[in-house]
Structure 1
Amino acid sequence: MSGRRLPRPIGVIRMGHMEAAVAGDPLGLLGSLAAGGPGLTPLYIGPRLVHAVTAPELVRAVLIGDPRRYAGVVAERTRRLTDGDLASLVATVAERARHLPLSWRPGVELDVNAAMAGYEPVHRGQVDGQSTITLLMRRFFPAAEPLRGCLTAFVAATLAWMWHELASHPHAAARLHAEVDTVLAGRRVTASDLPNLRYTRRVVSEVLRLHPVLLVMRTVVKPVRLGGIPLSPGAELLLRPHSLHRDPAVYADPGTFDPDRWRADRCAHQPRGAFVPFGCDDRGSFLWTEFTVTVATIAQRWQLLPTLGRVRPCVAVVERPDRLMMVPRQRGV
């Protein structure tokens, strides 16, 4: 039996039109394609034909169901860090994080997006930056260096979301502060503290689940039918990890901020490929450690309290809060 035929590519969604769509509704692009559609929509990004995968069950099929039929960004293989390497990197992260709030004033409203943009990542790994996404970035954000700029923006946005989620969930914030106070006892974070910052690491994982990289690419490497539509090797797929990370078929109560879903006993049977916050399977990346150390260092001395106003996501190289004003409170540790 022959498969369904793809609709004709949406030629009008070229770079200029897509730019207007993103400016009007940054996170609605793929959602608008999904409305009333087949869940797999061909469109042009500049001269390149890609297929937007919008239906959650199809995103799940690509990233979890039969990933051998698709190629994506593979985490760079780097030599295993020695204990000395790790200790040095953690010390560098802690020092940069310690300097980040030096200009903060207790009780004085703070632009958290701008504050987190002042952090320069130590991590030199990758987030998904394949050619099509790079093309998008060069069009929308010509001043940004595609891969390094994307990484720096992603780290800043993730840290901003971190403080927003903690302020929105006071019980989680209280647990994180209690852990940091107990483990560090007023001193700087060291590599030997990492195994004991378990809840802090779970908070990082949950924020990354809710706020992953904006888009990821996969390329078909073996003939496949996706949603009943045949695709040949070389076909490019554009997906949002957000669709998978909030899929109730993969995560229980996916809209709830629940760091404890990352306890070993609760996530042990999670399918491989179900968690792609960087656009690739990169769980061994030092970036996890960098987020953990940065959050623990700042949380040791500061708590960021929410102000009135709804926080909405927007696109500026990555997905970040549109306007995140918070009030720093110094902690007496």
Structure 2
Amino acid sequence: MGSADTRRRFIEAVRRLANRRLRLLGRTAQNSTMTMVRVANDVPSAPGGLPVLGHALAFKRDPVAFLGTLRALGPMVRIQLGPKPAYVVNDEHLIRRVFVPDAHKFDKGIFWEKVGAIVGNGLANSSGTVHLRQRRMMQPMFHRRRIALYATTMAAHWAERVAGWQEGQVLDVPHEMADTALSMVVRTVFSSRLGDGAVEAMRSGFPDVQDGVMWRTMNPFPVLEKLPTPGNRRFAAGIDHIQRAVDTAIAAYRADGSDHGDLLSTLVAARDPETGTALTDDEIRDQVLTIALAAGDTTANALAWALYQIGTSPELGQCIAAEVAEVAKDRPLDVGDLDALVYTDRVVQEVFRFYAFWMLMRRTLTDVVLGDVRLPAGAQVLISPLSLHRDPAIYPDAGRFLPDRWTSEVRRTAFIPFGAGARQCIGDRFAWTEVMLGLATICRRWQLVPVTGQTTREVCRISLNPAPLHMTVTPR
């Protein structure tokens, strides 16, 4: 009996000793892990910073080239935009953390603060519970069935627009695509003539306010934004004109009380499915401007770059034309054709890879450990989908435009043309549909030939613009 009791006490003593050793090992491992986390100041810094200005001049001079050089410096690189640091994240896994599991630890950052001067607190710019409420209310407007209805309007408008071109006509392609894309979204948002004033205000005012946003994002001294310079006055006047015109259209829609079957009618009638509350006039205006800005900029530039690539490699356009002829024969295109336009879809995917957003920004809401770096609250984090998409370690032959790369397996986690996670662009399918229908409609009828002697550059505005790009209209 005594022997059994002794054995029991011995076993319990050994178990307690083992548990103490395990706890000690756990604390040691935890402390070891903590010592491996670097502070933000230890992140490698980009070379070439200037006193006071930091990297602002290099960043402004050629953002695409500047961001491309940072990838070789490591998964995270510190730059100075004037007196304030920003952290450029290059690693695809860290980018995924920012967009998906750790998204709640970030807000939109300085870039979207500047865009907020145009779009207010719309879906692209809001955060927290406001963003969730807006997304719940906006989601039905971008459901697949609604996109099919919008596609009918898109197809008809593309056919009408392209039919108006003349053989030998020289198009300013970025301007033509921007005007067409804005007209397209406007027909979707405002099908009634009650919105005519808003349409014209956006068409005339967006170029100045887009330029103003980019200057403000890269400007290291915010005090300059308050000076009464001609550029600042044009920026303020453009925003005021656009917002007043959209407010007038909203008031007219409310007074009319009719459902015009467009997005503005849907926004006016929308109710939060959880609370039953409606959108205010300010919220509706912000959503309208968010949608219009995205369509008039992102979609237009995707189309312009696609036509640039087709112009320099005519076989791309020939393949699209042949596919459209096989799928649609001589009848007008409709949304039901899109799934069968497999090659056209590959061209569009490659456009959104090669000409993705050049910059997205986030700001930490609290201390965040990203990889092995602890970023303090308020840190600006910069992500370049464009740089990621042109990484040869992810995309072989990344510097070439190769639609056929999409016939094989591609790492989809590294393909983020519309962001990722809960903040992924709600209008991604809208944009994709518009670009598909636009390319198919143009290529079945016309071949656009680049004007000789021009050198088309990548110009960073809200998205990546081709400039200059003039092309001659030739029958196919």
TM-score range, shorter chain: 0.7 to 0.9
Q: Distance in 2 between matches of 1:286 and 1:115?
A: 19
Which of the residues 158, 172, 181 maps onto 2:302?
158
**Is the CA contact 1:210–1:242 (under 8 Å) kept in the aligned structure 2?**
yes
Which residues of 2 match residues 176-195 of structure 1 at below 5 A? 176-195=320-339
1:207 aligned partner: 351
Question: Which amino acid in 2 is paired with 1:278?
Answer: F
Q: CA deviation at 1:317?
A: 3.3
Which residues of 2 match residues 100-111 of structure 1 at below 5 A? 100-111=161-172
Q: Count residues with an aligned counterpart.
A: 312
1:254 lines up with 2:287 in the alignment? no
Which has the higher mean CA deviation after the structures are superposed, 132-141 or 274-283?
Answer: 132-141
Q: CA deviation at 1:179?
A: 0.5
Q: Distance in 1 between matches of 2:52 and 2:149?
A: 51
Q: Distance in 1 between matches of 2:377 and 2:62?
A: 32
Question: Which amino acid in 1 is paired with 2:459?
Answer: C
**Is the CA contact 1:90–1:290 (under 8 Å) kept in the aligned structure 2?**
yes
2:38 aligned partner: 3
**Is the CA contact 2:162–2:441 (under 8 Å) kept in the aligned structure 1?**
no
Q: Distance in 1 between matches of 2:383 and 2:94?
A: 9
2:64 aligned partner: 27
Q: CA deviation at 1:93?
A: 0.6
1:180/1:113 CA distance change after superposition, 3 Å: same
1:81 aligned partner: 143
Q: CA deviation at 1:253?
A: 1.7
Which residues of 2 match residues 256-271 of structure 1 at below 5 A? 256-263=400-407, 265-267=408-410, 270-271=411-412
Q: CA deviation at 1:72?
A: 6.7
Q: Distance in 1 between matches of 2:448 and 2:438?
A: 14
1:313 aligned partner: 458
Question: Which amino acid in 2 is paired with 1:313?
Answer: E
1:10/1:301 CA distance change after superposition, 3 Å: same
1:69 aligned partner: 102
Cα-to-partner distance string for 1:120-149 (whole Å, 9 max, x where unaligned): 24378xxxx9xx989629968934677443
Which of the residues 28, 40, 63 maps onto 2:77?
40
Question: Which amino acid in 1 is paired with 2:62?
Answer: D
Q: CA deviation at 1:216?
A: 0.9
Which has the higher mean CA deviation after the structures are superposed, 70-79 or 99-108?
Answer: 70-79
**Is the CA contact 2:39–2:375 (under 8 Å) kept in the aligned structure 1?**
no
Alignment TM-score, normalising by the size of structure 1: 0.77
Which of the residues 355, 360, 385 maps onto 1:241?
385
Question: Which amino acid in 2 is paired with 1:68?
Answer: P
Which of the residues 315, 322, 325 maps onto 1:171?
315
Alignment TM-score, normalising by the size of structure 2: 0.56
Give % identity: 30
Cα-to-partner distance string for 1:103-135 (whole Å, 9 max, x where unaligned): 4321232211121121124378xxxx9xx9896
**Is the CA contact 1:3–1:228 (under 8 Å) kept in the aligned structure 2?**
yes
**Is the CA contact 1:69–1:221 (under 8 Å) kept in the aligned structure 2?**
no
Q: Distance in 1 between matches of 2:314 and 2:405?
A: 17
Which ranges in structure 2 are unaligned for 5 or more consecutive residues?
1-34, 109-122, 125-134, 190-209, 220-224, 226-230, 243-288
2:217 aligned partner: 136
1:10/1:216 CA distance change after superposition, 3 Å: farther
Partner-residue secondary structure (3-state), 1:230? strand
Question: Which amino acid in 2 is paired with 1:136?
Answer: T
Larger Rg: 2
Which of the residues 51, 54, 68 maps onto 2:86?
51
